[in-house]
Amino acid sequence: MISLSSCDTCSSKGSCPSAGQADCPGEVQAPPRDAPHPQASIRRVVGICSGKGGVGKSLVTALTAIGLTRQGLKVGILDADITGPSVPKAFGLSGRLSGTDDGIYPARTGLGIQVVSINLLLDDQAAPVIWRGPILAGVVRQFWKDVIWDQLDVLLIDMPPGTGDVPLTVFQSIPLDGLIMVTTPQDLVSMIVKKAHAMARMMNVNLLGLVENMAWLRCPDCDHEISLFGAGQTETAAAGMALPLLDRLPLDPALAALVDQGRLEDCAEPLLRQSVAAIAQLVQENP
């Protein structure tokens, strides 16, 4: 039971957006964090999250991994979106992960990005994963504890969308050094992003900033930029949350095609530069 008086003793009182309100979720008591596999080596862990599904979180995760790899960093992706795993597809990965009694070995993309996803463990990739929340969260924790990540500078986590049970467990069991939030222009000015933002703050995660996806439409015929929303709206919304707007990504049919063909690494254009720079900076700070 959570009562209003729980705010009085809550350590998040100063920063909690729902302090004193009837919907206060109360202080989130974090259980002890899981340790990664003893043979795994990971310098930094950065989550990519969103307030809801389908906003391009997996695309942003994959593009960020590609950008960091091209800077010479060793990068892994933990696909924690168990019910909607789409990371392997963007890289054209299929087949099964190998493992021993010791642990699980990640798959490798053409560029050498290490990937672990439920899709690389299921016999039928088209079969829906209909497990309940605690089982889903357990799989994510296993990807963290049982995978032998090889000398990573950065592990990116494609988070389950939203603010429910499964993302909460990820926040609680994996020590995130930073978090990037992906949003569409519509969501940025709605409650969805504010809720996700509030959750990240309650979990005390270092929010590096926002990526605005589908920010404009690039005409495939003439390269003309079509803005779906008034210019400046998103900057205002981001500033209102005191969050840096790191990057804006257009809705680009060429990107969608590369994902569908499993050839995202063929995308030569350096995208999401500021997000890549922010994560590279985090890595540098932790030699």
Ligand X SMILES: Nc1ncnc2c1ncn2[C@@H]1O[C@H](COP(=O)(O)OP(=O)(O)OP(=O)(O)O)[C@@H](O)[C@H]1O
53 binds, among Zn ion, Mg ion, ligand X, none (CB under 5 to 8 A by kind): ligand X
Which among 38-46, 51-59, 206-214, 223-231 is the span making contact with Mg ion, rule CB under 5 A?
A: 51-59
Indicate the residue among 58 and 172 with the shorter CB distance to Mg ion: 58
Residue 86 interacting with Mg ion (CB under 5 A): yes
Whether residue 69 contacts residue 37, with contact meaning beta carbons closer than 8 Å, is answered with no
Q: State in angstroms the smallest separation of the CB of 24 from ligand X.
A: 28
Smallest distance from ligand X to CB 238, Å: 18
Which residue, 26 or 84, is less far from ligand X as judged by CB?
A: 84
Q: Is 125 an interacting residue with respect to Mg ion (CB under 5 A)?
A: no
The answer to whether 76 touches 151, Cβ cutoff 8 Å, is no
Binding residue (CB under 5 A) for Zn ion from 221, 231, 269, 287: 221
R_g over Cα of the chain: 19
Q: Pick from 222, 231, 242, 268 the residue near Zn ion by CB under 5 A.
A: 222
Q: Of 112-120, 178-186, 224-232, 276-284, which part binds Zn ion (CB under 5 A)?
A: 224-232
Distance CA 21, CA 4 (A): 7
Residue 240: contacted member of Mg ion, Zn ion, ligand X, none (CB under 5 to 8 Å, by partner type): none
Q: Residue number with the shortest CB distance to Mg ion? A: 58
Note whether 184 binds Mg ion by CB under 5 A: no
Residue matched to tokens 């929340």: 133
What tokens does 228 get?
A: 């779906």
> Does residue 219 bind Zn ion (CB under 5 A)?
yes
Q: How far is the CB of 221 from Zn ion (least distance, A)?
A: 4
58 vs 64 by CB, closer to Mg ion: 58
Q: Which residues bind ligand X (CB under 6 A)?
A: 50, 53-59, 81, 84, 86, 161, 213-214, 249, 251-252, 255-256, 259
Select 12 or 61, whichever has its Cβ closest to ligand X. 61
Binding site residues, Mg ion, CB under 5 A: 57-58, 81, 84, 86
